[in-house]
Amino acid sequence: MLMELVLKDGNVYSDGKFQKKTIHITDGTVTCLESHPKHDGSLVVDCSAFYIFPGFTDVHVHFREPGFSYKETIVTGSLAAARGGFTDVCTMPNLNPAPDSVENLQKQLELIKKDAVINVHPFGTITKGQNGEELSDMEEMAESVCGYSDDGKGVQADGMMEKAMLKAKALGKIISAHCEDNSLLFGGYIHDGEYARLHGHRGICSESEWKQIERDLKLVEKTGCKYHVCHISAKESVELIRQAKKKGLDVTCETAPHYLIMNDMMLEEDGRFKMNPPIRSEEDRKALVEGLIDGTVDMIATDHAPHSLEEKSKGLEKSNMGVVGIETSFASMYTYLVKTGVITLEKLIEVMYLNPSRRFGFDKGIEVGKMADLTVFDLDKKYTIDPAEFKSMGVATPFKGHEVYGECKLTLCNGKIAYNGGLNIEND
């Protein structure tokens, strides 16, 4: 715990805007937030060249424990998140055993308590073993999960999804849906677009995503469930969610940095470009950006999905689905969207901190009386993304070699240092 620390003259995000302020932290708690404070004998860090944000929230990550610790662990995943400026993440339930009961969930909770350096909030599954046939022990798990998801698999049966929504509604919890109609996949593994046709690959059509979103929105209208759509990638998905919000449905959605920055003609014959849903067309990318600007897309999540080197070294067809992104999310978004004038820095913080924290019920913010959950960035620092420097065990990123701006200098979570990027301070 940090006994006494002063972050002096930083550009602090507070009340929706940036202001030059100095943050006093005592015993891990923010005790003073002023424009012209007096300094005592505390350790003072000059932050006049830095920006200080509330810790980011990522509502879609895979930390792989229990069951797949050769890909990632709670330790490495949470360290990677802290290096990316995140203090809260929601972990998906693609685990062994799957968190479909209190007993199975407890195995994950014990690892989180022992090893996490940030706040890790697990999802419970929607169905037993994510098999789509029987509801999980949703009620029994409710107090310990941030919501329910069968991520990696769409719930295929309409009746099963309706039952899940009704149960979630009764519990006051959120359904976070991976929307994918298996009948429309046809063995595809990248976007069914120009690159696939030019290079002889089997494509995944956009309808496989938006068709199930369309179904679920009808069920949301019927049940009144709190509903969140994972990793949208298609222009049709954006429009469906836009119209659902106009109807007043309790719906939010996320997209990921790679969908906002890349199109399918940027693919390479390399497993680090393979994820589900796939990177789609330029038209889809532009629709996602427009959705971000107008508020249809509520938040950016990474779908951080580490795999072993072997699993990602088999090209586009045979590599596992999933790329890493939690250490590069802010820098890529800041470089490609903020510095280019597409969105403001305030908007980026809104979709990486404010909206996801509010939607999933995390009490966040740089405020007097709260524990210090914040991250400090040098926005002028330019560097090349090098997976060899990652804290994550996963190295497969489509942003390898990209020159970006925005380096994390410090992340504090619950008043403790979760990541130190070179500042001369230590936990007591």
Question: Catalytic positions, please?
Answer: 303
User: Cα angle at 59 between 53 and 60, to 5 degrees?
Assistant: 125
Residues 6+ apart with CB under 8 A from 364: 54, 55, 57, 87, 88, 353, 357, 373
Q: Among positive and negative, which fits the CA dihedral 152, 157, 158, 159?
A: negative
Could you tell me which of 360, 426, 402 has the C-alpha nearest to residue 120?
Answer: 360
Say if CB 41 and CB 3 are below 8 A apart: no
415: left (phi over 0), alpha (psi -120 to 50) or beta: left
- d(CA 55, CA 58) in angstroms, rounded, equals 10
Q: Strands of 226-229's sheet, edge to edge? A: 174-177, 226-229, 251-255, 299-300
- d(CA 67, CA 113) in angstroms, rounded, equals 17
Q: Which residues pair with 13 in a beta bridge?
A: 18
Could you tell me which of 286, 267, 269, 291 has the C-alpha nearest to residue 278?
Answer: 267
Helix (H, G, I), strand (E, B) or coil at 238: helix
* Amino acid at position 321, single letter: M
- d(CA 119, CA 78) in angstroms, rounded, equals 8
Could you tell me which of 41, 53, 43 has the C-alpha nearest to residue 10?
Answer: 53
Helix (H, G, I), strand (E, B) or coil at 68: coil
Could you give the dihedral angle defined by the CA atoms of residues 62, 416, 351 and 248, in that order, rounded to the nearest 10 degrees?
80
Residues 6+ apart with CB under 8 A from 363: 357, 370
- d(CA 265, CA 267) in angstroms, rounded, equals 5
How many Cα atoms within 13 Å fall on the side-chain side of residue 69? 10
Helix (H) or strand (E) holding 220: helix 207-223
Residues 6+ apart with CB under 8 A from 385: 328, 331, 332, 397, 399, 400, 401, 402, 403, 404
